[in-house]
Structure formats: C-alpha cells, structure tokens
Amino acid sequence: MTSTPDLESELEQASRAYEEFASRGLDLDITRGKPGSEQLDLSDALLGLVTGDDARTPSGVDARNYGGIDGIIELRELFSPLLKVPADQLLAGGNASLTLMGQALTFALLHGTAVDGTPWGAGPHKLLCPVPGYDRHFTLAESLGFELLSIPMDDEGPIVAEAQRLAEDPSVKGMWLVPMYSNPTGITITEERAAELAAMPAAAPDFTLLWDNAYGLHHLRETHPEPVDILSLCAEAGHPERPWIFASTSKITHAGAGVSFFGAGPETMRWFIANLGKIAIGPDKVNQLRHLRFFGDADGVVAHMRKHAEIIAPKFDAVLDALEQGLGSTELATWTKPDGGYFITLTTLEGTAERIVKLAAEAGVKLTPAGATHPYGIDPAGNVIRIAPTMPSLAEVELAAEGLVACVKLASYEKLLAG
C-alpha cells in the first residue's frame, strides 16, 4: 500500500507535470473517430473517376439515372467476399450506414420485421447494448423510443449468458454489436462467441443482431482476423433472419461521401428493399460507380486499407507507448491494445473519468465526454475514457497522449488521497 506521505508527493509531482503541460496552451482534439486529412487524401482519385461520357456500369446501367434500389451489382459483388455476405443478400446504399440502421429500426417499429409482422413500436421495445459501446448506436435507439439495457463484455465479445437472460423478455428485440475492432474497446468477437449469439434462445421471434461491422477491414497489423460469417452461423442455428449486417466505406474512402452496405437473410432483404423503395427511388449510383472503378477488385480494397494502416498505426502506437511509459508501472489505469479500428479504451480508477476529461479540456486536450460509451451517457463506474487517435497529426497525438497521462495521474492521486 502506498502511504499517505508518498501519495502526497505523487500528487505534488502530478500537479506540477499537469501545470507544465497546461501552460503550453495547446489545442488538441482526440474526441471523434474521424480519418485524418492524410487518410482522406488517399482517396482523392475517386473524384475524377466518373464523367458524363463514361457513366455506365459494367452491366450497362446509366449511373446518372434513377433506379436500382439495391445498388450497383458490381460493387456488391466486390464487397461480398470482404464482408462475408452473398452479393444477392447485400445492398449498397448512400453515404452512411448509420442511416441504414435508423431506417431498418424505423421499419421494424412501424411495420414489424420479415419474421414477425407485429410492429416493434406496438409495445415496449428494448435493445441490448454491450458496454462500453458506440454512443451513436445508443442515441439513435433512444431517440426511437427503445429502452437500452447494458450487457457486459469480455475480450471475446458480449457475455452471452447475460444477453440470454435479458432476452427472455419478448420486448427485447435485439442487440447492438460491433463485431470487429469494436468502438471503443477494439476487441473482436470470436467465432465461438458469435456462434453462441447466433444460436441463443430469445423470446422475441424476431430477435435481431444489429451486426455493425464498421471496422471489419480496418486492420492495423499484417496478421489479422477475418470477418465472421454471421449469416451462415445464424442460418445453421435456425435463425437465418437474425443478423442485420451494416458496413460502409466511410473510413475507407471519404468519410462524408462513401457507400454504405446492408446485408441480411433473404426474407429480411426483401422486407428491407420493399420498405426502402417507399422512401427512395435509388441510391447515388454515380458514387458507387466511382468506388467500383477506384478499387477495381477486392484486392484493391485490401491494398488501400494497408495504406491507411501505415498512416494510423504509428498514432495508435504513440498513445500506447505514452500510456505504457507514464502509467505502465502504476495501478492507476489499464487500456486496450487494439489491432484495428479507430479507438483505444482507457479504464481509470473508479469515479475519475469525468475529472480526467475536465482536466484535459482545461489543459487543451479535448476527449470524448465521460459516459458517452454507455447508454444514456451514464457509466456506472465512471472510469471509461475513449481515445480516438486518428484525426490529429502524429506530433499532436504524441502531445495529447502526454497530456492525458498527466491528467490521469493528477485525478488518480487526488482521488486516492481523498480516500
């Protein structure tokens, strides 16, 4: 046990280090998982790849015109092996997978699903939320009237026994999941855990896995996992319509101007397209054609993702090195060491996250608000901080990480001394 005088001297040192950092008057932002401009530059060639004279898809469709609600077939074929979804069960949409999630949930609330015609909105409706998780999943579902129920996770995925217990309630309609390099922990679900979720009994006949594979291709290291074929796992378990698969090129090409994807069982795909056809005549096929020409084939996507990794892996390493150097020999925090995705999760002493975020803001380092990783913005232990190192330059990330360490130490010693 550290004695009180030792703690006092640690606090003094931490306080000095913090003041020194704050006096530099920096303005750094590691809040959101946005690509840095160097990453966006990688895809600029896209912008010139479709001209008025040359706007036909390989199968002869004029991309400039209306139609083709499920997106151009060649792009769906290109992404099919990458996402592990057959091309005829994969829709290519507009620029945001979050919009597809909102649409699918809204259709289910209003019309029921392909499996059960009772609108989810006709009664109480709840979603399971593995935590820590993605804040926009939570705010989207909350805004649509879902009650959010937290599920714990370990490093193989959500705890299935807990999900199963809660899913005995028929108003539990589904579960959010970021299967690969999760936002914000970076963990990837194991095939075994995915199979358990595929087979899990649930009272709602149309219990749905909201399988948001936003980071399925976003590896930081050469050796990496492949996306789980959740459609096959669910079909084998007798729940062919259970997964709704989402993905996009937001963090592959231009984040505001990419292509989104929706994959599902055959009945769900028909249901989704029938409903989508009421609110749209077709997606932006010009953008889809640009993406098709830009990548050429699936290997083109893989090669492109390597270039992203070359840019962002050093930023992740800078944060991990700073945490290790500053906190590795203490018991003040633990952190995830992701092999992909956009985030690192830092777990600090209970009840210190809010203070750390505040201290960091005052010292010129913006962090995601404490609590954002949990439903309703409430992290019961008050100790989870999401770090998003991709957008600032490497030099800025290094500085931000140094500042973060100073804030963790200061807030921790304050807390330990306060008892």
Which residues sit at the interface with ligand PMP, rule CB under 6 A?
A: 33, 96-98, 134, 178, 183, 212, 214, 248, 250, 260
Decide whether 214 or 344 has the Cβ nearer to ligand PMP. 214
Which residue type, as a one-letter code, is found at position 299? D
CA-CA distance, 363 to 21, in Å (whole number)?
7
Least separation in angstroms between CB 238 and ligand PMP: 28
Express the helix, strand and coil content of the chain in percent, nearest 5 each. 45, 15, 40
Least separation in angstroms between CB 69 and ligand PMP: 18
Question: Residues of 44-77 as b/e, b for ≥16 C-beta within 10 angstroms?
Answer: eebeeebeeeebebeeebebeeeebbbbbbbbbb
How many helical (H) and strand (E) elements, i.e. helices and strands, does the chain have?
13, 14
Please check whether residue 194 is in contact with residue 209, taking contact to mean a CB–CB distance below 8 angstroms. no
Question: Measuring CA to CA, which residue among 131, 94, 73, 97 is closest to residue 244?
Answer: 97
CA-CA distance, 325 to 159, in Å (whole number)?
32
Place of tokens 């309703």: 376
Least separation in angstroms between CB 94 and ligand PMP: 9
Q: For residue 58, give both structure tokens.
A: 């390989």
Decide whether 93 or 403 has the Cβ nearer to ligand PMP. 93
Least separation in angstroms between CB 324 and ligand PMP: 25
Please check whether residue 95 is in contact with residue 250, taking contact to mean a CB–CB distance below 8 angstroms. yes
Least separation in angstroms between CB 30 and ligand PMP: 14
Least separation in angstroms between CB 178 and ligand PMP: 4
Decide whether 185 or 248 has the Cβ nearer to ligand PMP. 248
CA-CA distance, 326 to 121, in Å (whole number)?
50
Which residue type, as a one-letter code, is found at position 233? L
The answer to whether the peptide bond before residue 132 is cis (omega within 30 degrees of 0) is yes
* Centroid of chain to Cα 151: 16
Please check whether residue 38 is in contact with residue 32, taking contact to mean a CB–CB distance below 8 angstroms. no
CA-CA distance, 309 to 375, in Å (whole number)?
30
CA-CA distance, 415 to 409, in Å (whole number)?
10
Least separation in angstroms between CB 21 and ligand PMP: 28
Please check whether residue 288 is in contact with residue 46, taking contact to mean a CB–CB distance below 8 angstroms. no
Least separation in angstroms between CB 397 and ligand PMP: 18
Least separation in angstroms between CB 409 and ligand PMP: 29
